[in-house]
């Protein structure tokens, strides 16, 4: 039975549920032999794509053995009709960190970008695309500043024909960090992962993305319109030059063209070698597309993290209400200011869409 205290392979004790969805359930667990923290991921036997997702993940792990930033696959198996895989524990998800009111910025953001580019370069070198680069799937170990990518159920091998998966393609079109190729149902390529990475970095720097509200509350047509106009938006002009350069390089690639990874990594050169958290201007409202279905407190309880790691997360003073109030009073009004004639023209353009 999948519950706290249950044993998997007579070795790994389930300690707490980290994430649940229609397709998977992810548990924190501990190795009874040495006490090491691990992660056990079960694939729902009631979901018709469970076997496909399981196969993709196992293929990815086996193809990417030895890549720093990809968790070690410890075991696979079947329990009560549910397939599972077990990996080592590699850190906290970026989305869980954001939910605490902290973020990564400045030199730490540059270091994070560079480390993720190194991982993508390595996995692309094995002819595998991740296709789900998002805060949910970026894990950080603050004791070592090690960055990892997880969740490979959407991954794709460039050398093996993929089974058609209409539901997965449809879901990808609704994600906050999805690439343009996935959004429009085109064959994904190397540029897809890099474009998604650029959106994650923008989100960390700016605190949101222009289409976030449209994705949640507006029609799909409005969302698509916001994505089409992004290249000409004031938002993009406010993004830091390095992140904007990464986005431009990704979107300029031809399908199947390999990026110049060395040039891209050079954009994010920094003497900083430690990823640190900083206070955010305000706590972001994280929706379903950002959270893993668990709180940071649940992860702490499940893994009983050592005191040193706890201090890395919690030694930052809480946000200042007075400073937040001052920001609100002095904040620049959002969005560009247009003349009446230009507003009329824009309204006609929107009607056309």
Residues 323-345 pLDDT 10s: 344 444 444 444 444 444 444 44
> How far is Cα 278 from Cα 80, in angstroms, rounded to an integer?
44
pLDDT greater than 80 at residue 145: yes
Lookup: tokens for 200: 């994650």
Instruction: Please indicate whether residue 295 or residue 201 has the higher confidence score (pLDDT).
Output: 201
Q: Where are the domains of the chain?
A: 93-295
Percent of the chain at pLDDT above 70? Answer: 75
In this structure, CATH architecture of domain 93-295: Orthogonal Bundle (1.10)
Predicted TM-score (pTM) of the model is 0.78
Of 233 and 280, the one with more pLDDT: 233
């Amino acid at each position: 039975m999948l519950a706290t205290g249950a044993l998997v392979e007579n070795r790994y004790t389930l300690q707490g549920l980290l994430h649940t969805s229609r397709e998977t359930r992810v548990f924190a667990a501990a190795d009874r032999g040495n006490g090491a923290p691990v992660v056990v991921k079960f694939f729902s036997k009631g979901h018709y794509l469970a076997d496909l997702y399981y196969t993709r993940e196992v293929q990815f792990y086996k193809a990417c053995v030895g890549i720093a930033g990809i968790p070690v696959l410890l075991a696979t198996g079947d329990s009560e009709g549910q397939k599972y895989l077990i990996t080592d524990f590699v850190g906290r998800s970026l989305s869980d960190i954001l939910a605490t009111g902290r973020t990564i910025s400045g030199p730490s953001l540059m270091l994070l970008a560079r480390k993720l580019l190194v991982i993508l370069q390595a996995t692309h070198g094995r002819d595998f695309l991740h296709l789900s680069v998002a805060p949910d799937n970026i894990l950080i170990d603050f004791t070592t500043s090690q960055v990892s990518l997880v969740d490979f159920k959407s991954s794709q091998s460039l050398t093996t024909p993929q089974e058609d998966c209409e539901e997965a393609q449809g879901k990808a079109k609704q994600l906050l960090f999805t690439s343009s190729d996935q959004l429009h149902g085109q064959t994904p390529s190397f540029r897809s992962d890099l474009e998604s990475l650029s959106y994650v970095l923008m989100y960390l720097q700016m605190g949101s993305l222009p289409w976030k509200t449209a994705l949640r509350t507006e029609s799909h047509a409005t969302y698509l319109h916001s994505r089409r106009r992004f290249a000409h938006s004031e938002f993009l002009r406010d993004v830091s030059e390095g992140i904007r350069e990464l986005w431009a390089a990704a979107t300029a690639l031809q399908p199947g063209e390999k990026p110049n990874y060395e040039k891209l990594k050079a954009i994010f050169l920094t003497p900083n070698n430690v990823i640190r958290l900083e206070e955010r201007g305000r706590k972001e409202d994280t929706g379903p597309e950002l959270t893993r279905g668990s709180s940071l407190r649940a992860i702490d309880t499940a893994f009983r993290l050592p005191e040193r790691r706890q201090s890395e997360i919690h030694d930052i003073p809480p946000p200042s209400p007075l400073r937040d109030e001052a920001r609100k009073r002095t904040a620049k009004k959002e969005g560009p200011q247009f003349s009446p004639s230009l507003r009329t023209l824009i309204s006609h353009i929107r009607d056309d869409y």
